[in-house]
Structure 1
Amino acid sequence: MKFKKVIAQFYADNVILAEELICDIFFSFNLKGVVCDVPLDEPDEGFGTNTLPKPEICSITGYLPLLDSTDILIEKIRKKAASLLDLNIKIDIKIEIVDEKDWSEAWKIYFNVTPITDKITIKPVWKNHDARPDEIVIHLDPGMAFGTGTHPSTAMCIQLIETFFKPGSNFLDIGTGSGILMIAAAKLGASKLVGIDTDEVAIKVAKENLKKNNINPEIYSLLCTTLDKIDPSPCQFIAVNIIAQVIVAILPEISMRMTQNTITILSGIIKERQNDVLAALKAHHLCVIHEAYQDEWVCLAVKKNLNRVLSNNALNNFT
């Protein structure tokens, strides 16, 4: 099968903001194999997104199957990209036609065994690794459409899950992607896991990765749906690794599933959007108990505002 390779070369004062907005356009039109070629600081150790020389021109690349409707989608992408000029983001869209075999495997050479914490390591399924007796190894094949788990937003999510997750808790993963956060929670002792995503490919990939990691299928379920369509019962631990705009939009549904003991991890937030998220948290009586930062990315651990819960309980008792 042939694909159209869509390359968005861009120039912007705020590269991180431009990266997020262009990726959002690509994902909204269901482009696959999205790769960001932008300069980032080197990580302290292991593989990161900047193991290659810094690009002369920043770009985001994605792929669309070569169909009759593809040119219509590309024209819509061009119009969306042009609208970002108001934010001083200038984008030049280039198109190439490629065979699937030319790109579906090529990215794998850049994905190596990566320590995420002192205890948790991500290992591509095609790489060898001699694990320590106490090491938690996540065997991952992200497929064509998902990240490797080494992006700061995902790495910080895993770090905070390790910090706050209590064995025996249930776990809800909103926007599960490759299933990596579900796997981390399972290996840290989750009693039950639910992963949701609006992309059928994500559900398929996550299921395959859970199987590769020998996660008991009786303790997890994967659903291709949105948060408002699933059981609103309280969760003990929730992870959300998506963009800030979506977090703000679904926060009422997230809050509904939280008790005063629930911990929710919010990631995928760039620093410029942190205040938007903080304002939404305050509006829904949630408070931040821990903040993590890497590069331009923010990850938050949040709980119900206990003072607000106590106030509501007192009011209920009075009435």
Structure 2
Amino acid sequence: MLREKIIKAKGGLPWEFDPPVVRPPLLMLVAKAFLLLLMAAACGFLLFFPFSSSSHIHFQELTGLQGHRVAAFCAFTRSCSSEDNAMHQSTAHEGASNRTPPPQSVRHIVLQERPHEEKVEKEITQGVKASKAGPASSSAVPPLSIPGSTVQEARIALSTRACRSPAIDGYTKIDAACMKQSPTNQWFQAYYRAGGKQADLVVHYDQAASYDGIAVAWGLTNKKDTVEECAAHCLRHMPGDIPGPFQQMPCNVFVYCPLEECWEPDAWHATKGDCWLKFSEAPAKPEVNVRGDLSRAVKERHPEAPPRVQWVSGVLLPPGVELTNGTWSPRVNW
């Protein structure tokens, strides 16, 4: 009766009675809000993550390039502290690219006794050991010293390339003035002035590899019976031994043919005993023409090529400076 009275008071019929409003519980509202936030976070991650990854890669490349330039400047002006040099060297390694030849097989020959150093793995090479001084103690071996520079300065100088590759345009546009002023040549000149001897450098061999450089002794007319004799000739060669625009360049790279014939993708016919003496910028990071098993691309361009490189190459470096895998030279595409 009360309900009918209320309906009649409103002037309506019983079936026109307004039902009560049903409100959703608070827990359901909170759950919907959380679900919306979760979906928004997922969309943001999918949009931002690829950009963040690519930006990080580009940043590494830029900082690596800048690190090499600043480190080279520090090495020769000597205006930076040792902490600065270490920081720039670390930055250069972080930004280094992966465009390196495959790992080399290296033998080290030390021509006179040197203090031994603790061997540690270094990330800039694959399959190559690098030297690092051990922790200081009363019985520790004193660190290596190099006439005219520290080991760290030598590492930077002998890994820095300031001039264009000599193989560009088929060796027809070599900048002799740039090579003379290059960090590598300047380091060698300072080494000699400080009393350093060519014969005290360490010989590093790379089996089945051909290194690039500027010839300071012509291999076709410089015959040796063994690769060790070829290395010994490089150890005897001094700036001024030859005429021409490269007479002030030291020998820091040698390339030897140990077989009856050694294939190469140019017009020369190399035979047993050919001993090329060369000057190369950045001998600790040499320009590699070919190494190991020849690639399919090389075999397609040169069907007559053997399956594996026939040359033996090597470099001369001061004690404490390691030979890395190097970089490909323009001749890799010949």
User: Which structure shows the bigger proportion of residues in strand conformation?
Assistant: 1
Q: Same fold (TM over 0.5)?
A: no
> TM-score when scaled to structure 1?
0.24
Structure label with greater radius of gyration = 2
Q: Greater relative contact order (Cα 8 A, min sep 6): structure 1 or 2? A: 2
> TM-score when scaled to structure 2?
0.23
